[in-house]
Amino acid sequence: MLPRGRPRALGAATLLLLLLLVVGFFLFGRDPEYGLRAAATFDGDPYGSRNRSASGLHPLLPPKCELLHVAIVCAGYNSSREVITLVKSVLFYRKNPLHLHLVTDAVARNILETLFRTWMVPAVVIRFYDAEELKPLISWIPNTHYSGLYGLMKLVLPSILPLSLARVIVLDTDVTFSSDIAELWALFAHFSGVILLWLDRLRQTGWEQMWTLTAKRELLTLMATSLADQDVFNAVIKEHPELVHPLPCVWNVQLSDHTLAERCYLEAADLKVIHWNSPKKLRVKNKHAEFFRNLHLTFLGYDGKLLRRELFGCPNQLPPGAEQLQQALAQLDEEEPCFEFRQQQLTVHRVHITFLPHQPPPPRPHDVTLVAQLSMDRLQMLEALCRHWSGPMSLALYLTDAEAQQFLHFVETSPVLSARKDVAYHIVYRDGPLYPVNQLRNVALAQALTPYVFLSDIDFLPAYSLYDYLRASIEQLELGSRRKAALVVPAFETLHYRFSFPNSKAELLTLLDAGSLHIFRYHEWPQGHAPTDYAHWREAQAPYHVQWAADYEPYVVVPRDCPRYDPRFVGFGWNKVAHIIELDAQEYELLVLPEAFSIHLPHAPSLDISRFRSSPTYRDCLQALKEEFHQDLSRHYGAAALKYLTALQQSQSRA
Amino acid sequence: MLPRGRPRALGAATLLLLLLLVVGFFLFGRDPEYGLRAAATFDGDPYGSRNRSASGLHPLLPPKCELLHVAIVCAGYNSSREVITLVKSVLFYRKNPLHLHLVTDAVARNILETLFRTWMVPAVVIRFYDAEELKPLISWIPNTHYSGLYGLMKLVLPSILPLSLARVIVLDTDVTFSSDIAELWALFAHFSGVILLWLDRLRQTGWEQMWTLTAKRELLTLMATSLADQDVFNAVIKEHPELVHPLPCVWNVQLSDHTLAERCYLEAADLKVIHWNSPKKLRVKNKHAEFFRNLHLTFLGYDGKLLRRELFGCPNQLPPGAEQLQQALAQLDEEEPCFEFRQQQLTVHRVHITFLPHQPPPPRPHDVTLVAQLSMDRLQMLEALCRHWSGPMSLALYLTDAEAQQFLHFVETSPVLSARKDVAYHIVYRDGPLYPVNQLRNVALAQALTPYVFLSDIDFLPAYSLYDYLRASIEQLELGSRRKAALVVPAFETLHYRFSFPNSKAELLTLLDAGSLHIFRYHEWPQGHAPTDYAHWREAQAPYHVQWAADYEPYVVVPRDCPRYDPRFVGFGWNKVAHIIELDAQEYELLVLPEAFSIHLPHAPSLDISRFRSSPTYRDCLQALKEEFHQDLSRHYGAAALKYLTALQQSQSRA
A356 vs A144: CA distance, rounded Å: 24
Q: Is residue A209 over pLDDT 90?
A: no
Partner A contacted by B377 (CB < 8 A):
yes
Nearest CB neighbour to B312, from listed A95, A265, A607 = A265
Angle at A18 between CA A17 and CA A24, to 5 degrees: 125
A63 with B50: Cβ contact below 8 A = yes
Q: Are residues A431 and A287 in the same domain?
A: no
Calculate mean pLDDT across residues B235-259.
67
Q: How far is CA B208 from CA B24, B158, B164, in A?
A: 16, 8, 18
Partner B contacted by A348 (CB < 8 A):
no
Partner A contacted by B603 (CB < 8 A):
yes
CB B259 within 8 A of CB B3: no
Question: Which range (A274-283, B95-104, B564-573) has the least confidence?
Answer: A274-283
Q: How far is A602 from chain B (nearest CA, A)?
A: 6
Give the closest residue to B294 by CA, choosing from A340, A311, A335. A311
Q: Is residue A60 over pLDDT 50?
A: yes
Does residue A346 belong to any structural domain of this protein?
no
A388 vs A501: CA distance, rounded Å: 10
Q: How far is B53 from chain A (nearest CA, A)?
A: 5
Instruction: Give A433's contacts in chain B (Cβ within 8 Å).
Output: 409
Reduced 3-state DSSP string for A600-640: ECCCCCCHHHHHHHHCHHHHHHHHHHHHHHHHHHHHHHHHH
Q: How far is A163 from chain B (nearest CA, A)?
A: 28
Does residue B330 belong to any structural domain of this protein?
no
Nearest CB neighbour to A61, from listed B52, B297, B376 = B52
Confidence bin at B46 (pLDDT 50/70/90): very low
Instruction: Give A59's contacts in chain B (Cβ within 8 Å).
Output: 53
Does residue A47 belong to any structural domain of this protein?
no
A17 vs A30: CA distance, rounded Å: 16
Final residue of a domain: which of A288, A304, A320?
A: A304
A588 vs A162: CA distance, rounded Å: 50
Q: How far is B587 from chain A (nearest CA, A)?
A: 38
Give the closest residue to A543 by CA, choosing from A467, A587, A485. A485
Q: Are residues A415 and A533 in the same domain?
A: yes
So what's the pLDDT on residue A197? 44
Confidence bin at B343 (pLDDT 50/70/90): very high
Q: Are residues A288 and A399 in the same domain?
A: no
Q: Is residue B581 over pLDDT 90?
A: yes
Instruction: Give B333's contacts in chain A (Cβ within 8 Å).
Output: none
Partner A contacted by B301 (CB < 8 A):
yes
Work out the percent of chain B whose per-residue pLDDT is above 70: 79
Q: How far is A452 from chain B (nearest CA, A)?
A: 31
Q: Are residues B185 and B275 in the same domain?
A: yes
Q: Are residues A240 and A371 in the same domain?
A: no
- φ, ψ (nearest 5 deg) of residue B111: -65, -50
Q: Is residue B530 over pLDDT 90?
A: yes
B313 vs A267: CA distance, rounded Å: 6
CB A27 within 8 A of CB A247: no
A607 with B298: Cβ contact below 8 A = no
So what's the pLDDT on residue B102? 96
So what's the pLDDT on residue A287? 56
Partner B contacted by A409 (CB < 8 A):
yes
- φ, ψ (nearest 5 deg) of residue B375: -125, -175
Final residue of a domain: which of B265, B284, B304?
A: B304
In single-letter form, the type of residue at position A328 comes to A
CB B69 within 8 A of CB B168: yes
Helices A207-221, A229-239: crossing angle, 10 deg rounding? 100
Confidence bin at B234 (pLDDT 50/70/90): confident
- Which residues on adjacent β-strands are paired with residue B176? B274
Partner B contacted by A610 (CB < 8 A):
yes
Q: B545-560 pLDDT, tens per residue?
A: 999 999 999 999 999 9
Most confident of A281-285, A412-416, A497-501, B317-321: A412-416
Does residue B341 belong to any structural domain of this protein?
no
CB B137 within 8 A of CB B159: yes
Confidence bin at A616 (pLDDT 50/70/90): confident
Q: B412-424 pLDDT, tens per residue?
A: 989 999 999 999 9
B334 or A3, which is more confident? B334
Q: How far is A218 from chain B (nearest CA, A)?
A: 41
Query: How many other C-beta atoms are found inside a 10 Å radius of the C-beta of residue B75?
Result: 22
Partner A contacted by B328 (CB < 8 A):
no
In single-letter form, the type of residue at position A100 comes to L
Confidence bin at B261 (pLDDT 50/70/90): low
Calculate mean pLDDT across residues A337-349.
93
Q: Are residues B367 and B288 in the same domain?
A: no
Q: How far is B221 from chain A (nearest CA, A)?
A: 43
Q: How far is B565 from chain A (nearest CA, A)?
A: 28
Q: How do strand B351-352 and strand B273-275 relate by DSSP bridges?
A: unpaired
Give me the total of CB pairs closer than 8 Å, taking one residue from chain A and one from chain B. Answer: 153
- φ, ψ (nearest 5 deg) of residue B275: -120, 120
CB A67 within 8 A of CB A98: yes
Q: Is residue B205 over pLDDT 80?
A: no
Q: A108-150 pLDDT, tens per residue?
A: 999 999 999 999 888 899 999 999 988 888 887 776 565 678 8
Q: How far is CA A125 from CA A102, A111, A594, B171, B370, in A?
A: 11, 16, 53, 38, 56
So what's the pLDDT on residue B481? 62
What H or E segment, with its residue span, contains residue A395? Answer: strand A393-399
Does residue B518 belong to any structural domain of this protein?
yes
Calculate mean pLDDT across residues A408-434.
93
Q: Are residues B607 and B513 in the same domain?
A: yes
Does residue A157 belong to any structural domain of this protein?
yes
A386 vs A392: CA distance, rounded Å: 10
Calculate mean pLDDT across residues B49-59.
38
Q: How far is CA A118 from CA A349, A427, B277, in A?
A: 6, 12, 32
Helices A642-654, A616-637: crossing angle, 10 deg rounding? 160
Q: Is residue A198 over pLDDT 70?
A: no
Q: How far is A93 from chain B (nearest CA, A)?
A: 10
Question: Which range (A68-77, A302-311, B145-154, B354-363) has the least confidence?
Answer: B145-154
Q: Which residue of B has its CA nearest to A614?
A: B414
Q: Are residues A266 and A365 in the same domain?
A: no
What H or E segment, with its residue span, contains residue A131? Answer: helix A131-138
* Segment 88-127 of chain A within 8 Å of chain B by CB: 95
Q: How many residues does chain B have?
A: 655
So what's the pLDDT on residue A346? 93
Calculate mean pLDDT across residues A280-284.
50
B496 with A495: Cβ contact below 8 A = yes
Question: Which range (A141-150, A316-325, A414-423) has the least confidence?
Answer: A141-150
What H or E segment, with its residue span, contains residue B11? Answer: none
- Which residues on adjacent β-strands are paired with residue B599? B461, B492
Question: Which range (A29-38, A420-429, B566-575) has the least confidence?
Answer: A29-38
Q: Is residue A263 over pLDDT 60?
A: yes
Q: Is residue B31 over pLDDT 70?
A: no
Q: Is residue B497 over pLDDT 80?
A: no
A331 vs B546: CA distance, rounded Å: 68
Calculate mean pLDDT across residues A307-314.
78
Give the closest residue to A416 by CA, choosing from B338, B571, B611. B611
Q: Are residues A550 and A464 in the same domain?
A: yes
Does residue B272 belong to any structural domain of this protein?
yes
A276 vs A17: CA distance, rounded Å: 9
A424 vs B58: CA distance, rounded Å: 51
* Segment 488-547 of chain A within 8 Å of chain B by CB: 495-498
Q: Is residue B447 over pLDDT 70?
A: yes
First-to-last alpha carbon distance for chain B, in angstroms, is 65
Helices then strands (H, E): number in chain B?
A: 27, 22
B378 or A287, which is more confident? B378
Partner A contacted by B204 (CB < 8 A):
no
- φ, ψ (nearest 5 deg) of residue B145: -145, 140
Sequence-ordered list of residues with C-beta below 8 angstroms from that of A370, at least 6 positions apart, any chain: A385, A389, A391, A392, A393, A394, A453, A454, A456, A462, A467
Q: Are residues A296 and A356 in the same domain?
A: no
Q: How do strand B423-429 and strand B393-399 relate by DSSP bridges?
A: parallel
CB A444 within 8 A of CB A341: no
Mutate to test the interface with A, among B58, B401, B414, B497 (most CBs of A within 10 A): B497
Q: Is residue B40 over pLDDT 50?
A: no
Give the closest residue to A74 by CA, choosing from A27, A124, A116, A24. A116
Q: A473-492 pLDDT, tens per residue?
A: 999 998 766 678 999 999 99
Final residue of a domain: which of A244, A279, A304?
A: A304
Q: How far is CA A44 from CA A20, A50, A81, in A?
A: 20, 11, 38
Q: Which residue of A has its CA nearest to B409?
A: A433
How would you label B258-268 residue by residue, b for 16+ Cβ within 10 Å and e otherwise?
A: ebbbebbbebb
pTM here is 0.82
Q: Which residue of A has its CA nearest to B270?
A: A95
Mutate to test the interface with B, among A187, A312, A458 (most CBs of B within 10 A): A312
Instruction: Give A604's contacts in chain B (Cβ within 8 Å).
Output: 380-381, 601, 603-604
Partner A contacted by B431 (CB < 8 A):
no
Question: Which range (A318-332, B223-237, B266-280, B488-502) has the least confidence?
Answer: B266-280
B520 vs B490: CA distance, rounded Å: 9
Q: How far is A24 from chain B (nearest CA, A)?
A: 23
Side-chain-side CA neighbours of residue A100 (13 Å): 28
- Residue B595 sits in a domain of what CATH number? 3.90.550.10
Q: Are residues A375 and A433 in the same domain?
A: yes
Calculate mean pLDDT across residues B351-373.
94
Strand order in the sheet with B491-493: B460-462, B598-600, B491-493, B518-519
- Which residues on adjacent β-strands are paired with residue A101? A71, A127
Q: Are residues A292 and A375 in the same domain?
A: no
Question: Which range (A314-328, A505-519, B120-134) has the least confidence?
Answer: A314-328
Does residue B331 belong to any structural domain of this protein?
no
Question: Which range (A83-87, B29-33, B572-576) has the least confidence?
Answer: B29-33
CB B161 within 8 A of CB B202: no
Instruction: Give B515's contacts in chain A (Cβ within 8 Å).
Output: none
Q: Which residue of A has its CA nearest to B183?
A: A53
Q: Which residue of B has its CA nearest to A283?
A: B334
Nearest CB neighbour to B610, from listed A307, A308, A380 = A380
Radius of gyration of chain B (CA): 29
Question: Which range (B313-317, B416-420, B453-457, B615-619) has the least confidence?
Answer: B313-317
A306 with B313: Cβ contact below 8 A = no
B60 with A49: Cβ contact below 8 A = no
B350 vs B322: CA distance, rounded Å: 13
CB A346 within 8 A of CB A567: no
CB A380 within 8 A of CB B610: yes
Give the closest residue to B245 by CA, choosing from B182, B184, B171. B184
Work out the percent of chain A whose per-residue pLDDT is above 90: 46
Calculate mean pLDDT across residues A95-114.
94
**Domain count for chain B:** 2
B10 vs B30: CA distance, rounded Å: 6
CA A187 from centre of chain:
33
Calculate mean pLDDT across residues A300-328.
83
Task: Look over chain A and give the mean of its residue pLDDT values, rounded to a whole number.
Answer: 81
Sign of CA dihedral B448, B449, B455, B459: negative
Mutate to test the interface with B, among A51, A64, A296, A327 (most CBs of B within 10 A): A64
So what's the pLDDT on residue B127? 96
Task: Look over chain B and give the mean of its residue pLDDT values, rounded to a whole number.
Answer: 81
Q: Is residue B137 over pLDDT 60?
A: yes
CB B444 within 8 A of CB B456: no
CB B598 within 8 A of CB B463: yes
Partner A contacted by B419 (CB < 8 A):
no
Work out the percent of chain A whose per-residue pLDDT is above 70: 79
B146 vs A597: CA distance, rounded Å: 65
- The secondary structure of residue A316, as a DSSP letter, is P
* Burial of B613: CB neighbours in 10 Å, binned 0-12, 13-18, 19+: exposed
* Segment 39-78 of chain A within 8 Å of chain B by CB: 49-55, 59-64
Question: Which range (A226-230, B260-264, B294-298) has the least confidence?
Answer: B260-264
Give the structural domain span for B239: 8-42+55-304
Instruction: Give A377's contacts in chain B (Cβ within 8 Å).
Output: 376-377
Sequence-ordered list of residues with C-beta below 8 angstroms from that of B329, at least 6 positions apart, any chain: B343, B346
Partner A contacted by B290 (CB < 8 A):
yes
